[in-house]
Amino acid sequence: MEKMARAGRLIDRLTATAAVVVALVLVSCGESHSDSGAPSRAIPEAPTLVATPSFSADSAYAFVARQVAFGHRVPNSIGHQQCGDYLIDQLTSFGATVSVQEARVTAYDGTKLDIRNIFGAFNPRQKRRILLYAHWDTRPYADKDSVRTGEPIDGANDGASGVGVLLELARIMSDSLPSVGVDIAFFDAEDYGEPEWLPNRDADYTDWCLGSQYWARKPHIPGYRAKYGILLDMVGAKGAVFHREGTSVALAPAVVEKVWSAARRLGHADLFRNRVTPQTIDDNLFVSQLAGIPSANIVHYHLDTRMMGYFQHHHTHGDNMDAIDPEVLGKVGEVLTQVVYAE
């Protein structure tokens, strides 16, 4: 989705204390030098790895491909309906307690979108819970492309990759439950924000992440709480790198450290880098601020290659299965599995 460096403005608007939180985090952190030479948070001594079930990169890749096979998953479309049914069936087959939150939301242009937020609970009676989430819809426009800009994209990376990793984790948990309660959430209508070609785009970008915003205000379980959350967004492309995302560092620094520490212990520091990106607008902002669940965002973002440094096929027709690397999916899945089973 579109994630802007101006996200700090929206953080300020969502809560009067957010600017103070951001300032405290960014100013008070001790500095050390990261892999790139840029300053980053001091890193404490890491605990040892825990034994986990094996995460299958090939299985995660197959879950991504199955979603893409439905075609685009833009709300109100046939592919969207079919893919949502598939996700519900998969979570059910893996033994999750499945909940579906249906809603009608209004897009930036007044279009009424019928959406479904889909949840799968593992260890549903466990009070100590974590929330793992991704968006499952796709962009209705290829507004960063030079051809067919008004047509929807496949969204293999931007959407399907995070869902694919979470489905593989669900498959793992069907055979070997962790001690913590885990809620997997597939949020809808994340990517229906204003297109690039509009001359006066919404300055706070609240037309994005409609599904997570709806849920954060009206959770599927009244009073729902989780210890923390982790968002997966664009986690499967060739050449991916995952820097510490700025909004996550501001609002959930301990969760960021938990994830990046696990990656380092697993030997994936080449993928999970220590530099900090600009603050971005994504589902984790609304889950952190509106739902009060501090969340880290694992998102593909190149700091030095281009403005708005998402992977090269972001919001283009190049975001298809040719862009997906099973090895990247596997490494992200290994990190997530380590975090979950270490709880």
**Tens-digit pLDDT profile for residues 237-246:** 999 999 999 9
Residue-level pLDDT at 204? 74
pLDDT exceeds 50 at position 119: yes
Residue-level pLDDT at 254? 98
Tokens of residue 268, six digits: 């994936």
Residue-level pLDDT at 302? 87
Residue-level pLDDT at 34? 38
pLDDT tens for each residue of 249-281: 999 999 999 999 999 999 999 999 999 999 999
Report helix angle 18-28 to 7-14, nearest 10.
130
What distance in Å separates the CA atoms of residue 216 and residue 287, rounded to the nearest whole number? 6
pLDDT exceeds 50 at position 38: no
Mean pLDDT value of segment 169-188: 98
pLDDT exceeds 70 at position 100: yes
Nearest to 163 by CA among 140, 142, 141, 191: 191
DSSP per-residue codes, 256-275:
HHHHHHHHHHTT-TTTEEEE
Handedness of CA 217, 222, 228, 229 (dihedral sign): negative
Residue-level pLDDT at 306? 54
What average pLDDT does the structure give for the chain?
A: 89
Residue-level pLDDT at 10? 61
Buried b / exposed e over 105-135, threshold 16 CB at 10 Å, is bebbeeeebebbbbbbbbbeeeeebbbbbbb
The residue behind tokens 């300032």 is: 23
pLDDT tens for each residue of 61-84: 999 999 999 999 999 999 999 999
What distance in Å separates the CA atoms of residue 180 and residue 177, rounded to the nearest whole number? 8
pLDDT exceeds 80 at position 200: no
What distance in Å separates the CA atoms of residue 113 and residue 121, rounded to the nearest whole number? 26
Tokens of residue 284, six digits: 């984790």
- What is the rounded radius of gyration, in angstroms, for the C-alpha atoms of the chain? 18
pLDDT tens for each residue of 217-232: 999 999 999 999 999 9
| CATH T-level topology, domain 7-341 | Aminopeptidase (3.40.630)
Residue-level pLDDT at 22? 35
pTM over 0.75: yes
Distances (CA, A) of 257 to 7, 23, 180, 293: 21, 18, 19, 16
Domain spans in the chain, listed from the N-terminal domain onward: 7-341
Q: First-to-last CA distance in the chain? A: 30
Tokens of residue 34, six digits: 């990261």
DSSP per-residue codes, 55-100:
P-HHHHHHHHHHHHTT----TTSHHHHHHHHHHHHHHHHTT-EEEE
What distance in Å separates the CA atoms of residue 222 and residue 309, rounded to the nearest whole number? 37
pLDDT band at 319 (very low <50, low <70, confident <90, very high): very high
| Chain Cα centroid distance, residue 248 | 11
pLDDT exceeds 70 at position 333: yes
Distances (CA, A) of 131 to 128, 234, 328: 11, 18, 22
